[in-house]
Amino acid sequence: MACLHDHSCEDHDCSSDWSLYKHIDLDKVSALNEATTGTVKSVFKAWEHRLNTSGEHLESNEGDPELLVFIPFTSDVKIKSISIVGGADGTSPSKMRAFINRDGIDFSDAQSMQAIQEWDLAENMQGVLEYQTRYSKFQSVGNITLHFPDNFGGDTTKIHYIGLKGEATQLKRDVVATIVYELMPNPSDHKTRAETGGGFSHVE
Amino acid sequence: MVLEATMICIDNSEWMRNGDYSPSRFQAQADAVNLICGAKTQSNPENTVGVLIMAGKGVRVLVTPTSDLGKILACMHGLEVGGEMNLAAGIQVAQLALKHRQNKKQQQRIIVFAGSPVKHEKKMLEMIGRKLKKNSVALDIVNFGEDDEEKTEKLESLLAAVNNNDTSHIVHVPAGPNALSDVLISTPIFTGDGEGGSGFAAAAAAAAAGGVSGYDFGVDPNLDPELALALRVSMEEERARQEAAAKKAAEDTSKQGGEQQAGSQEASSQDATMTERASASTSEAENKTTDLMDDENALLQQALAMSMDEPAVGHDVKDTDMSEASVDDPELALALQLSVADSTKDQASQSEVLADQSAVSDILASLPGVDLNDPSIKDLLASMQNKSEPQKKNDDKSSNEEKK
């Protein structure tokens, strides 16, 4: 499901649309099967730099085109569409599968699990292709994992840019960290202030 | 301090009955495992360690990754030796156990003890290695026990397939007098990936290496702060005493225009003091001499006054300091005794103390690092003998006045 970017960019500012990269928690971004650890962070940049292939890019290991990219956000976001700029000579990824709000997915999980959405990608050297999402499913995304199982025949898979279009909400999807479960309530654990001879009552 | 989940794969095959590692290969392995568990949990309290066996009736997980050291040590107890090791299955089960770790933020690591021969094909091991690398699992291999070319080659190729940026290591431990755990302590398996290691590993390394550590005096201040402090204090006193003696000699000989001698005195005293300053230039020492002349004189006067045991001198002698020094340093006590025995007369006999060559040479002989045959020391002794008494008395009295 691809749609063409069928207007010239001088009319409106495309880069503001593709600004979800600002809400990515870059420190926690990770990738599996990347040749050099840490290069995955370089694919998240502004729209203007999407065709800039001179700097660092994400590359998979020799002879293995699979890539798995884990992208956490600093707040919940709604993702409207995704754009991928791959490498030349068959090193562009050919398929993309997305998983939402799942932590710690690895390749065996990715291969066996049902993705929330899958796309067939085309070689997007000009960076004009964007792939729309089923928006209703991408409403409150705390993190997204992108799995690229295959490429166009190259030895490795190269990705220069991953763009996300959508909106950021200010909400944070927080997992309740410390809960104490009680099988049987014990009154001594729940002393009220009056019992402890407490102080002044006050309204907060 | 890397947050890590580790699975240790133990080889409990028949080959582990061999006694070429003391007490037996299996025991040496168990000790090493205990040490690794301790090191990992100490370097980061949230680290988890799990254990599985590769031989016996089949690959079996004894403990899933946990931070509870007691559980791990308990499961090592009562293990039986037998069967054949299945390396490939062991690594794959370890990978599966790590996959289901509770804290997904932990890095994954597998430590394999490969004691018996490896019966898998090289290609298969490489495939396993690549799979580990793809899922960013690090692998440490301890190659001990059976030693053949093929095994080493296979394990090296496995490591090459897994290794991503030097996070994986292989250690070959030949049979010998050193225990397996001692050899492992100094390897990257214990010390982590170039972070400098945990305190546990460093301390254990210091203990094992028998004092060849980076600490002064070979004692870890963490392990024994009182001993380290006592050693340091005694060293300071020794240094002060030697500097006092050297400066006094320098002061005496400088009147004769013996700058050179003073320099050599400084040099010999520097050598005698076993400190890092041995590499400092003598000119720096001389500058220090002139700067600290007053302080040194004061110390010197106190030292001499104490040896004289003369209350009429009227200096503020710090009794406690000197008594401590004499307690700590039997050589100093001997020197004091000699000095006191030699001169029971009046104040002016300070010079006699110095002129008494036998006493001085005794004292100098007792100083560590001072060689009586050293020409500069011989010169000093000679000059002290030849020194005229009045000149010395003048020196002493003038420095007395300075002090007062």
Residues in chain B within 8 Å Cβ distance of A102? none
Give the integer Cα–Cα distance in Å for A41 and B2: 20
Is the peptide bond preceding residue B390 cis, with omega within 30 degrees of 0?
no
CB of B92 within 8 Å of a chain A CB? The answer is no
When pLDDT is averaged across residues B348-367 and rounded to a whole number, the result is 60
Query: Could you tell me which residues come within 8 angstroms of residue B109 by beta carbon, excluding any fewer than 6 positions away?
Result: B4, B5, B6, B7, B98, B137, B138, B139, B140
When pLDDT is averaged across residues B57-83 and rounded to a whole number, the result is 92
**Structural contact between residues A96 and A58, judged by C-beta atoms closer than 8 angstroms:** no
Give the integer Cα–Cα distance in Å for B72 and B53: 13
Spatial CA neighbour of B275 closest among B380, B369, B375:
B369
Q: In this complex, do B130 and A64 lie within 8 Å of one another by their Cβ atoms?
A: yes
Residues in chain B within 8 Å Cβ distance of A61? 130, 133-134
Q: Which residue of chain B has the CA closest to A67?
A: B134
Residues B199-232: tens digit of each pLDDT = 454 555 445 444 444 455 665 566 777 887 888 8
Q: How far is A33 from chain B (nearest CA, A)?
A: 4
What pLDDT, on the 0 to 100 scale, is given for residue A10? 46
Give the integer Cα–Cα distance in Å for B239 and B329: 12
More confident residue, B343 or B364: B364
CB of A113 within 8 Å of a chain B CB? The answer is no
Query: Could you tell me which residues come within 8 angstroms of residue B356 by beta carbon, excluding any fewer than 6 positions away?
Result: B342, B343
When pLDDT is averaged across residues B250-274 and rounded to a whole number, the result is 53
Least confident of A16-20, A81-85, B304-308: B304-308
User: Scanning the structure block, which residue is given the tokens 């694919």?
Assistant: A43
Q: In this complex, do A61 and B133 lie within 8 Å of one another by their Cβ atoms?
A: yes
Least confident of A27-36, B86-95, B362-371: B362-371
Q: In this complex, do B134 and A37 lie within 8 Å of one another by their Cβ atoms?
A: no
Instruction: Count CB pairs under 8 A between chains A and B.
Output: 21
Least confident of A1-10, A141-150, B243-252: A1-10
Give the integer Cα–Cα distance in Å for B7 and B137: 11
Spatial CA neighbour of B12 closest among B50, B70, B52, B65:
B52
What pLDDT, on the 0 to 100 scale, is given for residue B323? 47
* A164-203 residues touching B, CB cutoff 8 A: none
Q: Which residue of chain A has the CA closest to B107?
A: A104
Residues A162-188: tens digit of each pLDDT = 999 999 887 766 666 677 777 888 888
Q: Which residue of chain B has the CA closest to A60?
A: B134
Percent of chain A with pLDDT over 90: 39
Q: Which of B104, B134, B165 lies at the smallest CB-CB distance from A61? A: B134
Burial of residue B51 (CB within 10 Å: 0-12, 13-18, 19+) is: buried
Residue A194 pLDDT > 90, yes or no? no
Residues B3-54: tens digit of each pLDDT = 999 999 999 999 999 888 888 899 999 999 999 999 999 889 999 999 999 9
Residues A24-81: tens digit of each pLDDT = 988 889 999 988 888 888 889 888 888 888 888 899 988 889 999 999 999 899 999 9
Residues in chain A within 8 Å Cβ distance of B136? 32
Average model confidence (pLDDT) across chain A: 84
What pLDDT, on the 0 to 100 scale, is given for residue A72? 92
For an interface test with A, the pick among B3, B46, B136, B163 (most A C-beta atoms closer than 10 Å) comes out as B136
Q: In this complex, do A32 and B99 lie within 8 Å of one another by their Cβ atoms?
A: no
Residue type, A150: D
What pLDDT, on the 0 to 100 scale, is given for residue A199? 55
Average model confidence (pLDDT) across chain B: 75
Backbone φ/ψ region at A76: left (φ over 0), alpha (ψ -120 to 50), beta: beta
Q: Which residues of A4-17 are buried (b: 16+ CB within 10 A; e: fewer)?
A: eeeeeeeeeebeeb
Kind and range of the H or E run holding B142:
strand B137-143
Ordered alpha helix ranges (H), B46-116: 69-76, 87-99
Query: Could you tell me which residues come within 8 angstroms of residue B360 by beta carbon, excluding any fewer than 6 positions away?
Result: B353, B354, B381, B384
Residue type, B170: I
Residues in chain B within 8 Å Cβ distance of A32? 134-136
Residues B151-160: tens digit of each pLDDT = 999 999 999 9
Kind and range of the H or E run holding A120:
strand A117-120
CB of B164 within 8 Å of a chain A CB? The answer is yes
Q: Which residue of chain B has the CA closest to A29?
A: B105
Q: In this complex, do A108 and B99 lie within 8 Å of one another by their Cβ atoms?
A: yes
Q: How far is B179 from chain A (nearest CA, A)?
A: 36
CB of B222 within 8 Å of a chain A CB? The answer is no
Residues in chain A within 8 Å Cβ distance of B128? none
Residues in chain A within 8 Å Cβ distance of B135? 32, 106-107
What pLDDT, on the 0 to 100 scale, is given for residue B336? 65
DSSP code per residue over B231-270: HHHHHHHHHHHHHHHHHHHHHHHHTTT-HHHHHHHHHHHH
Q: In this complex, do A32 and B104 lie within 8 Å of one another by their Cβ atoms?
A: no
Residue A99 pLDDT > 90, yes or no? yes
When pLDDT is averaged across residues B122-136 and rounded to a whole number, the result is 93
When pLDDT is averaged across residues B120-149 and rounded to a whole number, the result is 93
What pLDDT, on the 0 to 100 scale, is given for residue B281? 43
Percent of chain B with pLDDT over 90: 34
Q: Which own/partner contact pairs does B190-199 have at CB distance under 8 Å and 24+ positions apart?
A: B190/B35, B190/B36, B190/B39, B192/B2, B192/B43, B193/B2, B193/B166, B193/B167, B194/B166, B195/B1, B195/B2, B197/B43, B198/B1, B198/B39, B198/B42, B198/B43, B199/B42
Q: In this complex, do A107 and B130 lie within 8 Å of one another by their Cβ atoms?
A: no
What pLDDT, on the 0 to 100 scale, is given for residue B352? 53
Q: In this complex, do B134 and A108 lie within 8 Å of one another by their Cβ atoms?
A: no
Residue B144: band (very low, low, confident or very high) from pLDDT cuts 50, 70, 90? very high
For an interface test with B, the pick among A32, A39, A106, A113 (most B C-beta atoms closer than 10 Å) comes out as A106
Burial of residue B195 (CB within 10 Å: 0-12, 13-18, 19+) is: exposed
Q: How far is A43 from chain B (nearest CA, A)?
A: 20
Spatial CA neighbour of B116 closest among B87, B76, B154:
B87
The interface predicted TM-score (ipTM) is 0.75
The two beta strands, B137-143 and A95-100, are: unpaired
Q: Report yes or no on whether pTM surpasses 0.80.
A: no
Residue type, B46: E
What pLDDT, on the 0 to 100 scale, is given for residue B320? 45
Spatial CA neighbour of B393 closest among B356, B355, B362:
B355
CB of A106 within 8 Å of a chain B CB? The answer is yes
Give the integer Cα–Cα distance in Å for B95 and B20: 31
Residue B70: band (very low, low, confident or very high) from pLDDT cuts 50, 70, 90? very high
CB of A104 within 8 Å of a chain B CB? The answer is yes
When pLDDT is averaged across residues B128-141 and rounded to a whole number, the result is 93
What pLDDT, on the 0 to 100 scale, is given for residue A38? 84
Give me the phi and psi of A187, to 5 degrees please. Answer: -55, -30
Query: Six-digit token pair at A78?
Result: 């709604």
Q: Which residue of chain A has the CA closest to B163?
A: A35
What pLDDT, on the 0 to 100 scale, is given for residue B218? 62
CB of A107 within 8 Å of a chain B CB? The answer is yes
Q: How far is B136 from chain A (nearest CA, A)?
A: 7
Q: In this complex, do A37 and B104 lie within 8 Å of one another by their Cβ atoms?
A: no
Q: Supply angle C-alpha B173, B174, B180, rounded to 5.
A: 50
**Structural contact between residues B162 and B155, judged by C-beta atoms closer than 8 angstroms:** no
What pLDDT, on the 0 to 100 scale, is given for residue B180? 87
Query: Six-digit token pair at B67?
Result: 């931070």
Spatial CA neighbour of B140 closest among B28, B2, B9, B47:
B9
What pLDDT, on the 0 to 100 scale, is given for residue B321? 46
Give the integer Cα–Cα distance in Å for B64 and B73: 13
Q: Which of B135, B164, B165 lies at the smallest CB-CB distance from A107? A: B135
When pLDDT is averaged across residues B255-277 and rounded to a whole number, the result is 47
CA distances from B326 to B175, B295, B319, B334, B371 (A): 50, 21, 11, 9, 23
CB of A123 within 8 Å of a chain B CB? The answer is no
When pLDDT is averaged across residues B287-292 and rounded to a whole number, the result is 48
What pLDDT, on the 0 to 100 scale, is given for residue B341? 59
Residue A103: band (very low, low, confident or very high) from pLDDT cuts 50, 70, 90? confident
